[in-house]
């Protein structure tokens, strides 16, 4: 059971990293995510059914997400549409696109088909105990993504992108077009979300257009939980670690809610309410800790 919690947290953790980039680093509240997550899933499943190599299919899913994100950024940049609305537009359009990709169906199963996960399981059987294979695999995947992101945000481009959400004027003053940075950043963010969707589809055994519903809320909740874990840090490695850890914690709570919620008469459909309430509580807590910090300062000043 414990593996199940971790695996979910790690798969969705890649999505949380994407949400972290758009919300926290770029300060670009991007709702494309609700569409790019099932986009990744749909692309992955269709590519696998067409007999494409699993790793290549993963790349296709990632690229699809990048394009979706870039469309949002371009709508926002060039038509002067607020970023929230730009995201909603792309998300809405993606709903139709996803159904097209799935061959005019809302749900395509892939349970009996060979996937990356079955390949990995076949290869690792006997080396690692069966129940831990997926855990080890997804741990490796999440870590690779995290480390690559850390490296990216230490390059000159990554650093400038870090300044973007903080101070757009500073970026302009450096002779960099903020629109380019937004396009790259939101593209990258949605690429990760689609990648997460691609893994989720293989794990669940199907792709569904409804897969992304409310995913942005889960992502945001995970990011916020992660931020509670460690005190303020300016090291990107710590921040991405927090996002992953937040995801694992959040999905653990959701997992427990799904499996043991019946004890308190809770149904799975109550989870969305719980997610929303969780975010509100976290926001209240943030306000509270801010107040406390100011209080401490005032005392010290005296």
Residues at the site binding other proteins, with contacts judged by CB under 8 A: 151-152, 154-160, 162-163, 166-167, 169-178, 180, 232, 234
**Residue 201 CB partners (closer than 8 Å, separation 6+):** 40, 41, 42, 44, 45, 110, 207, 211
Cβ proximity to other proteins: between 234 and 265 the closer is 234
User: Residue 132 is encoded by which pair of tokens?
Assistant: 């831990």
Closer residue to other proteins (CB): 169 or 265: 169
Residue 106 or residue 170: which is nearer to other proteins going by CB? 170
* Residue number, 40 or 165, with CB nearest to other proteins: 165
Q: Are 203 and 11 in contact (CB under 8 A)?
A: yes
Measured CA to CA, the distance from residue 96 to residue 102 in angstroms comes to: 10
Q: For 249-294, give the DSSP string.
A: HHHHHHHHHHHHGGGGT--GGGHHHHHHHHHHHHHHHHHHHHHHHH
| 128-155 burial: b if 16+ Cβ within 10 Å, else e | eeeeebbbbbbbebbeebbeebbeebee
Give min distance, CB of 170 to other proteins, in A: 6
Residues 302 and 299: their CA atoms lie apart, in Å, by 5
> Do 13 and 70 contact (CB within 8 A), yes or no?
no
Shortest spacing between CB 165 and other proteins, in angstroms: 8
Nearer to other proteins, 181 or 193 (CB): 181
* C-beta of 184 vs 215, nearer to other proteins: 184
Q: How far is the CB of 8 from other proteins (least distance, A)?
A: 30
What does the block give as tokens for 206?
């199907």
- The distance of closest approach from Cβ of residue 239 to other proteins in the complex, given in angstroms and rounded to an integer, is 10
Comparison of 166 and 272: residue with beta carbon closer to other proteins = 166
Query: Can you give 101-123 as a three-state secondary structure string?
Result: HCCCCCEEECCCCCCHHHHHHHH
Taking a C-beta distance cutoff of 8 angstroms, is the pair 181, 171 a contact?
A: yes
Q: In the bound complex, what is the minimum distance in angstroms from residue 158's beta carbon to other proteins? A: 8
Name the nearest CA neighbour of 15 among 133, 140, 146, 159: 146
Query: Cβ closer to other proteins: 25 or 102?
Result: 25
Helix (H) or strand (E) holding 28: none
Name the minimum Å distance from CB 174 to other proteins: 6
Shortest distance, CB of residue 233 to other proteins, whole angstroms? 9
Taking the complex as a whole, the smallest distance from the CB of residue 198 to other proteins amounts, in Å, to 24
């Amino acid at each position: 059971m414990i593996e199940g919690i971790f695996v979910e947290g790690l798969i969705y953790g890649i999505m949380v990293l994407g949400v972290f980039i758009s919300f926290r680093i770029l300060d670009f509240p991007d709702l494309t995510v609700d569409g790019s997550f099932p986009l990744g899933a749909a692309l992955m499943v269709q590519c696998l059914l067409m007999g494409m190599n699993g790793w290549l299919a993963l790349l296709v899913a990632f690229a699809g997400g990048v394009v979706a994100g870039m469309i949002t950024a371009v709508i926002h940049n060039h038509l002067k549409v607020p970023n929230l609305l730009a995201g909603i537009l792309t998300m809405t359009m993606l709903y139709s696109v996803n159904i097209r990709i799935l061959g005019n169906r809302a749900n395509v199963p892939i349970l009996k088909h060979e996937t990356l996960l079955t390949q990995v399981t076949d290869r690792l059987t006997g080396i690692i105990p069966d129940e831990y294979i997926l855990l080890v695999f997804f741990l490796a995947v999440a870590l690779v993504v995290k480390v690559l992101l850390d490296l990216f945000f230490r390059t000159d481009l990554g650093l400038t992108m870090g300044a973007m959400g903080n101070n757009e004027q500073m970026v302009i003053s450096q002779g960099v077009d903020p629109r380019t940075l937004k396009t790259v950043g939101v593209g990258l963010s949605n690429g990760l979300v689609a990648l997460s969707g691609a893994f989720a589809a293989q794990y669940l055994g199907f792709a569904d257009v409804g897969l992304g519903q409310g995913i942005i809320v889960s992502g945001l909740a995970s990011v916020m939980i992660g931020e509670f874990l460690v005190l303020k840090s300016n090291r990107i490695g710590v921040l991405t670690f927090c996002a992953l850890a937040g995801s694992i914690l959040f999905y653990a709570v959701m997992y427990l809610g799904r499996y043991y919620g019946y004890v308190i008469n809770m149904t799975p459909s109550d989870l969305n309410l719980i997610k929303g309430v969780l975010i509100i509580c976290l926001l209240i807590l943030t306000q509270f800790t801010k107040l406390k910090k100011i209080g401490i300062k005032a005392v010290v000043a005296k």
